[in-house]
Chain A
């Protein structure tokens, strides 16, 4: 995936698929889902999710950015900051 560009929807889908792999129970996963409180992933599990997400997007999320990750949307936002900095985030037309 090196050099690949992403749309917001693609980033969300990719993160959702990673998160789904780490969940034990069935639950709807949305951008507002809290990883710990809603999806039942424990704090070490969240670290695992982050490591997997980093591998998929080939990036490192800084510790300072990691501290406040609560929802799936927060993970997406942290990734998009990096993607944008590397000019790998596609602008999508607003609906």
Chain B
């Protein structure tokens, strides 16, 4: 077992493999061998030490450019400094929720320095004044030419490698402590056992954002341990021209590339027939899918569409993982493609049992097989009420998935209460609902409130914040959540607000404004906007809004009984949701028992 820093020093012997960075507007594609990466990152680490940062100090990274991010992240590790990746702003006009979120992460992590680029730096004034431990916000540009020598630090497997902030279900983002030991354990499992990577030979292509665990660990740290070449594309380039992802795999004869479900669907939708003719995807042996709910239909459509380009449907690899388990929890066996389990929706809803059903029959749903967990790791299903994880539920019984093993985090940074709640006995609660059959893991739904649409994570707080700004909406009395029916290809986004406006037409106008404000600010289209009379939203005794409870009331239709004027379509939606086994299972598991 090696720390990331040892792995980098070892990889420096490699003069052939390394990282390649593609930029949209540049013809050249700078390539750094691991030997070069070792030299450059020493300078970045030295520059951070010259800022006065010491081992264990945190540095927040808001770096949209891949090359900057890779060098700054690894540079920090070499100096023993703990990087805290933060996603960059989506634009200059959507800053409200972004700055609030960023300030929270900077404060909570106790970062002494925020490292960003010159243009983002100008936007962060309020962050500077709101975070007591923050000493300065630095632009990365001067660091690119730094000549500061690195004072090597002794780093052990128990040391914290970085903090991965994730959005909590009812709370603000919390920082998962990821140690060097966690990384070493997880990388070994997913690279060797999961992907059967040939060190220095397999090569990858990634457009995944590096502030997210799938890009960061899957396509930067994992490959570093095994000296594989990785080529990075900017995430925005993929969104604009999805074909560039596939062209890059084809041109470089890459063997491994991952994306969330929506990436595969986007390629099916956007890549033209003429472009497929020039592609050769026959070298792509592991086409991983994770990070958001997986739909077999989308992956099959991708495999069919790109079969003429040599894509092998058996390369598709639906995986399961989460930041609290470093990255990967389970992988199916290589070369098996998408496998699913067809179960009876009624059984799932009523008895919380995944009984096999005929595919195509009414009330049957298809659940994707995410494979087995790795050696020296365990995954099991428990009743969410089983606080000590005493009673493993048998195969095909639906419950909360829990995991334990060396990849699992020790907890959240500076959050003893949340850390305690995250574990039941020595098992980590994943917050995902699912079942197991012969060790194969099936996920039914997510308990968490994160709204995931097209691979982007939307925080309900951001939507609520925007809706609150509309005249007629009672400030602070807005709740946003995502909900999913069995055949929906994405989460449906619902915003519920209280209003004192009584006139029907005026209320309709307020609803329109809410829709518009949220779309404008987040780019997200709301599927349903619900207006309620003042005082209807459920609150805790301390006056805080209860998001899970509101969603439950929405899904069961009870929310609508609290008011009179209601649109027909909203009721229709609510009725369908009530029938959804996922919604029901979630209610039954987490509320009613």
Q: Which residues of A contact B (CB under 8 A)?
A: 34, 36-37, 40, 42-44, 46-48, 50-51, 60, 62-64, 66-68, 70
B272 to chain A, nearest CB (A): 11
A17–B519 Cα distance when bound, in Å, is 23
Chain B interface residue count: which class?
A: 20 to 34
Given contact pairs A63-B234, A68-B93, A43 touches B523 in the complex (Cβ within 8 A): yes
Query: Contact at B240–A43, with CB atoms within 8 Å?
Result: no
Q: A60-B25, A63-B236 are in contact. List 8 more A-B contacts (CB 8 A).
A: A42-B525, A43-B524, A51-B240, A62-B25, A63-B24, A67-B90, A67-B92, A68-B92
Measured between beta carbons, the chain B residues less than 8 angstroms from A62 are 24-25
The residue in A44, A48, A68 that gathers the most chain B C-beta atoms within 10 A of its C-beta is A44
B239 on the interface (CB 8 Å rule)? yes
Measured between beta carbons, the chain A residues less than 8 angstroms from B64 are 63
- Nearest A residue to B238 via CB reads A47
A34–B524 Cα distance when bound, in Å, is 13
B288 to chain A, nearest CB (A): 21
Which B residues, 442 to 479, have Cβ-Cβ distances below 8 Å to chain A? 454, 456
A-B contact pairs, 29 of them (CB 8 A): A34-B520, A36-B523, A37-B516, A40-B525, A42-B454, A42-B523, A42-B524, A42-B525, A43-B454, A43-B456, A43-B523, A44-B454, A47-B236, A51-B240, A51-B241, A60-B24, A62-B24, A62-B25, A63-B24, A63-B64, A63-B236, A64-B119, A66-B236, A67-B89, A67-B90, A67-B91, A67-B92, A68-B92, A70-B93
Measured between beta carbons, the chain A residues less than 8 angstroms from B525 are 40, 42
Given contact pairs A36-B520, A63-B24, A47 touches B239 in the complex (Cβ within 8 A): yes
A43–B266 Cα distance when bound, in Å, is 13
- Nearest B residue to A45 via CB reads B523
Measured between beta carbons, the chain B residues less than 8 angstroms from A44 are 239, 266, 454
Query: Contact at B119–A37, with CB atoms within 8 Å?
Result: no
A37–B512 Cα distance when bound, in Å, is 10
- Nearest B residue to A49 via CB reads B240
Which B residues, 273 to 306, have Cβ-Cβ distances below 8 Å to chain A? none
Interface flags, B333-354, vs A, CB<8A=1, else 0: 0000000000000000000000
Query: Contact at A50–B90, with CB atoms within 8 Å?
Result: no
B179 to chain A, nearest CB (A): 34
B268 to chain A, nearest CB (A): 13
A6 to chain B, nearest CB (A): 21
B116 to chain A, nearest CB (A): 13
Interface flags, B492-528, vs A, CB<8A=1, else 0: 0000000000000000000000001001100111000
A46–B523 Cα distance when bound, in Å, is 9
- Nearest B residue to A46 via CB reads B523
Measured between beta carbons, the chain A residues less than 8 angstroms from B420 are none
A66–B454 Cα distance when bound, in Å, is 19
Interface flags, B92-111, vs A, CB<8A=1, else 0: 11000000000000000000
- For the complex of A and B, the 8 pairs showing the least CB-CB separation, nearest first, are A43-B523, A67-B91, A37-B520, A47-B239, A37-B516, A47-B240, A37-B519, A51-B240
- Nearest B residue to A50 via CB reads B240
Measured between beta carbons, the chain A residues less than 8 angstroms from B119 are 64
Measured between beta carbons, the chain A residues less than 8 angstroms from B241 are 51
B286 to chain A, nearest CB (A): 25
Query: Contact at B90–A48, with CB atoms within 8 Å?
Result: no
A34–B515 Cα distance when bound, in Å, is 13
A43–B455 Cα distance when bound, in Å, is 12
Measured between beta carbons, the chain B residues less than 8 angstroms from A64 are 119
Measured between beta carbons, the chain A residues less than 8 angstroms from B562 are none
Measured between beta carbons, the chain B residues less than 8 angstroms from A50 are 240
Measured between beta carbons, the chain A residues less than 8 angstroms from B90 are 67
A66–B240 Cα distance when bound, in Å, is 11
The residue in A34, A42, A43 that gathers the most chain B C-beta atoms within 10 A of its C-beta is A43
Which B residues, 75 to 132, have Cβ-Cβ distances below 8 Å to chain A? 89-93, 119
- Nearest A residue to B243 via CB reads A51
B270 on the interface (CB 8 Å rule)? yes
Measured between beta carbons, the chain B residues less than 8 angstroms from A70 are 93, 520
Measured between beta carbons, the chain A residues less than 8 angstroms from B240 are 47-48, 50-51
Measured between beta carbons, the chain B residues less than 8 angstroms from A47 are 236, 239-240
Interface flags, B231-253, vs A, CB<8A=1, else 0: 00010100111000000000000
B193 to chain A, nearest CB (A): 35
Measured between beta carbons, the chain B residues less than 8 angstroms from A42 are 454, 523-525
- Nearest B residue to A44 via CB reads B454
A83–B372 Cα distance when bound, in Å, is 55
A37–B266 Cα distance when bound, in Å, is 22
- Nearest A residue to B235 via CB reads A63
Given contact pairs A67-B91, A67-B92, A68-B91, A48 touches B520 in the complex (Cβ within 8 A): no
Which B residues, 513 to 566, have Cβ-Cβ distances below 8 Å to chain A? 516, 519-520, 523-525
Measured between beta carbons, the chain B residues less than 8 angstroms from A48 are 240, 270
- Nearest B residue to A48 via CB reads B270
Measured between beta carbons, the chain A residues less than 8 angstroms from B524 are 42-43
A83–B350 Cα distance when bound, in Å, is 63
- Nearest B residue to A55 via CB reads B241
A21–B454 Cα distance when bound, in Å, is 21
A63–B241 Cα distance when bound, in Å, is 13
Measured between beta carbons, the chain B residues less than 8 angstroms from A34 are 520
